[in-house]
Amino acid sequence: MLALVVDDSRAMRSIIKNIIKTEGFTFVEAGHGLEALAVLETGEVPDLALVDWNMPEMNGLEFVQAVRANERFNTMKILMVTTETEFEYMSRALEAGANEYLMKPFDRAALRGKLEMIGLIAPTEIQDNE
C-alpha cells in the first residue's frame, strides 16, 4: 500500500514514516498541501494520505477540499494529524471529506488504531506475527 505523508515538520514526517513502514506501507511525502497536490498529479493514487493541519502555502483543510473535489482520488483515505489547538477545526475537515483524525502527540498504537478504523490494516488481534 502507498501512503502520502504531508507535514511541514520533517521530524513529524519521519515519525509517521517509521510507523507506517512497519505496517507495510511505502510512501511519498510533501511539506505542504500544494506540494502534495503536485505529488498526486505525477504518481499513482495513494491508498492513504496522512495530513497535517497547519502548513505554509496550503493547509490541511484546503488540501482535503482540493482532493475531494477530484474524483480521481475518491479511493484515497485521508487521516488528519492534528494538535490540540487545531482540534476545534476537525469537524470542518471531516465535513470536507477527511475519514479520521489523530491527535499529536501519538504513539504507534494510536496510529495503528486509526488505520484499523479506516479499514486499511487488520485489527491487531488477528495478526500473528507481532
Nearer to Mg ion, 81 or 121 (CB): 81
Which three three-digit cell numbers place residue 95?
465535513
Q: Least distance (Å) from Mg ion to the CB of residue 56?
A: 8
Q: Which three cell numbers stand for residue 77?
A: 483515505
- In the complex, the smallest distance separating the C-beta of residue 52 from Mg ion, rounded to whole angstroms, is 4
52 binds Mg ion (CB under 5 A): yes
Query: What DSSP designation does 6 have?
Result: E
Stretch near Mg ion under the rule CB under 5 A, chosen from 29-37, 53-61, 72-80, 121-129: 53-61
Q: Cell 479520521 identifies what position?
A: 100
- Using rule CB under 5 A, residue 35 touches Mg ion: no
Among 2, 17, 34, 54, binds Mg ion (CB under 5 A): 54
Query: Pattern of binders to Mg ion over 2-31, x per CB under 5 A?
Result: ------x-----------------------
Q: Where does the chain have alpha helices with state H?
A: 10-22, 33-42, 60-68, 90-96, 108-118
Contacts of 60 (CB under 8 A, 6+ apart): 6, 33, 51, 52, 53, 54, 80, 82, 93
* H or E segment and range at residue 33: helix 33-42
Choices 13-21, 39-47, 54-62, 75-83; region in contact with Mg ion by CB under 5 A: 54-62
List of residues contacting Mg ion (CB under 5 A)? 8, 52, 54-55
